[in-house]
Amino acid sequence: MTGLALQSVGWALLHLLWQGALVAAVLALALRVLGRDAARARYALACGALVVIAALPAVTAWRHLASARVWESADAPVDMWTPSRDVGATVEEAPVLAALQDVPVRPAPVSAVLERLGARVEQHLPWLVLAWLLGVGVSSVRLLSGWLRLQRWVADAVPAPLEWQERLDRLATRLGMRHAVHLLQTAAVDAPAAVGWLRPVVLLPASALTGLSALQLELVLAHELAHVRRYDFAVNLLQTLLETLLFYHPAVWWVSHVIRVEREHCCDDIAAGASGNPLTYARALTALEALRVLPLQASPALSALGGSLPERVHRLVRASGARCSSRWAAGASVLTLVSSLAVAAPLVSLVLPERTRASTREEARSPVATAMPVVAPVSPAPSPTPALVVLTRAETTPRPSRHGEQDEDGEEADADRTRVGSAPLTVDQLVQLKVAGVTPERVEELEDMGYEPTVENLVQFAHAGVTSGFVREMREHFGRRLTAEGLVQLKHLGVTTQYVAELGALGYTRLSPEELAELKAVGVTPEYVRSLKAEGLPRMSADELKQLRAIGVDVKFMRELRESGLTGLTVDELVQLRASGVDAEFIQHMQRRR
C-alpha cells in the first residue's frame, strides 16, 4: 500500500468517528419516534444505518485519494503574495508589490493550530492503519473460529426424528417457504438455531424434544423458520463482517445490537402469528430458557434465545393485552412470565444427581416434565482424571390446572385441561384446537383410546400425530396403559415398535418408556449399538450408551485411538478421553515429543 493510500485510509478511519456518531444519533431519534412495536421498520432503519456507516469510510477515502492525485498531477501553485521574476510587473506595480512583500502575512491562530495538528496526525497515519489492520486480524480469527465451530456442529449432527422433519416441512409450507429446511439433532447447542441460507438447516437440541410440549416446540421451530425465510443468516454474516472491519467504533456495535434485537422481534411476531396466541409463544420461550444449561456462545447461528429474553417476553405479553379479558388477567400473565424468567436463571446452573428407579417412578406420577440428559464432570476414585457421567435434571415445568382451580399463588391457572364438551371454551382454546386440526371425530377417538378429551390432550395428540394404532402398540409392548404425556413424548422422538424390537434383539428388553425416550433423544440407534459391539465393547447398560452417544464417542473415534496405540479401553476411559479433547492428533503429537 502506497503512502498516499495509507493516508487516505487513515483519514477515513478518523473521520468515521464523528460520521458514525452522527448516523447513530439520527437513528436513535428515528427509533424514538417509531416506538417499540414497529419491529420491521426499526429493523430496516437499523440495517440502513449500518450500511451508511460502512459506506462512509469508503467514500471518504476515495475523495481524499482523488483530490490528492489531482494536486500531484497539477503544476506547483503560484505564490500570489511573493513577487517572482517570472511575473512581468510593470513599473507602476513594482512599489506596490514591494510594499506587500514587506508586510508579514499572519494566519489566524485557530487555522495554524489545526494545520499543525493535521500535519502531526498525518505523520502517524501509517501507524494508525497498521493498528487497525492488527485489530481486524484478531477479530477475523474470532470470526473464523466461530464459523469453523458452527460447521463442525452441523457435520456432527444427526437427522431429527422423521415425524418432526415432516412437521417442520408442513410448518414451512404454512409460512410460505418453498425451499427445503433440514432438521438436525445435536448435543452441541442448548437452543434451536438456524444455520445457512443456501442449504439451511435447523439445529435442534435433544433437551427440546424431551422438555417441551409439541405445541411449544412447534412455535420455537416457527421462530427458526422465520429466520430462514427472512435470510437473516446472510444478513447476520455481513453484519459480523462489518463488525470485524469497524471493530473500534462504538456506534457500529450499538447499531448492530439494535439490528439483532429487532431481528428477534420480527421473528417473534411471525411465530406468534402462527400460533394465534402470543402468550402461548411467550411461555414456550420461557420453557426453553429453563432447559438451557450452558451460556449462549458467540456464533453466526441464529438461536431462538437470542437477544434479551425478558424484553422479548414483555413485548409479547404487552402485544397480547387486547386479548385478555381484563387488566387484572393481563397483569397476572406478565407477573407469571416474568417470574418464570427469574426462576429460570438459577435453575439452569443446577444439575441434580441421577435419580434412582424408584424416584423416577414417583416423579413420573407427579406433574414434573421428563428429565433431560446432560453431561456433568465428576471426580471418581481411583481414576486420577475426571470422568463424565450422564446425569438427569428434573425440569419443574408447571402444568396447567383444571378449569376453575387455582395455583399456589391463589390465581386461576390456565384452563388447558378443560374437558371439551363439559365447559365453555375460551377464544384461545378454540384457536388452539383449530390450529391443531381437532375435529369432533378426534374427540370421540380420544375417548375410545381411554384418555380424557381435554384441550391439552387433544392439542398434544394432534400435534404429535398420536393415533389409536400407536396407543395400542405401546400398550401391548409395555403391558400397561401409558400416560398421555408419555405417549406424546415417545411419538415426538420417533420411538416405534420397530425401534423397541431392534433394541430388544440386542439385549435391551426391559427398558422403561422414560429410558427409551432418553436413548432416542440423544441419538442411540440399533446401528450405533451394533457398531460399538463390533469394535469390541462388551454389553453396555442404557446409561453407558447415553454417555457414549451424548459425548460423541463413535466408531471413527475408537478406531483412531486404536491406531494410535490405545486398545482395550473401557467405557469410562472412552468418555474421559472424548470429554477432555484427547484425539489421535494429540496422542501422536505427544508421542513425537518423547
Contact 316, 282 (CB under 8 A): yes
Q: CB under 8 Å to 395, separation ≥6 — which residues?
A: 211, 290, 291, 368, 369, 370, 371, 372
Q: How far is CA 99 from CA 79, 86, 88, 95, 594, in A?
A: 16, 19, 17, 6, 89
Distance CA 210, CA 587 (A): 37
Grid coordinates 459506506 are at which residue? Answer: 55
Domain positions in the chain: 497-592
495 Rama class: left (phi>0) / alpha (psi -120 to 50) / beta: beta
Q: CB under 8 Å to 462, separation ≥6 — which residues?
A: 436, 437, 438, 442
Q: Note the pTM of the prediction, 2 decimals.
A: 0.59
Grid coordinates 438451557 are at which residue? Answer: 292
Q: Is 217 exposed, middle or buried (0-12, 13-18, 19+ CB in 10 A)?
A: buried
Reference 460, options 272, 285, 216; nearest CA is 216
The secondary element (H helix, E strand) that includes residue 293 is none
| Digit-coded pLDDT (tens) for 116-158 | 666 676 777 888 888 999 999 999 998 888 888 888 888 888 8
Rounded to a whole number, what is the distance in angstroms from the first to the last CA of the chain?
A: 46
Q: Is 211 exposed, middle or buried (0-12, 13-18, 19+ CB in 10 A)?
A: buried
Tell me, what's the pLDDT at 36?
77
Tell me, what's the pLDDT at 343?
35
Reference 392, options 512, 489, 291; nearest CA is 291
Tell me, what's the pLDDT at 330?
36
Q: Where are the alpha helices (DSSP H) in 246-291?
A: 250-275, 278-291
Contact 232, 263 (CB under 8 A): yes
Tell me, what's the pLDDT at 298?
56
Tell me, what's the pLDDT at 517?
85
Amino acid at 375: V
Tell me, what's the pLDDT at 27?
93
What is the DSSP code string of 1-29? Answer: --HHHHHHHHHHHHHHHHHHHHHHHHHHH
The secondary element (H helix, E strand) that includes residue 204 is strand 201-205
Determine the Cα angle at 24 with ends 23 and 29, to 5°. 100
Tell me, what's the pLDDT at 416?
67
Tell me, what's the pLDDT at 346?
37
Tell me, what's the pLDDT at 465?
83
What parts of the chain have a pLDDT lower than 50? Answer: 75-93, 96-97, 100, 103, 105, 320-415
Distance CA 188, CA 195 (A): 13
| Digit-coded pLDDT (tens) for 357-370 | 333 334 333 333 33
State the sign of the Cα–Cα–Cα–Cα dihedral 402, 407, 411, 413.
negative
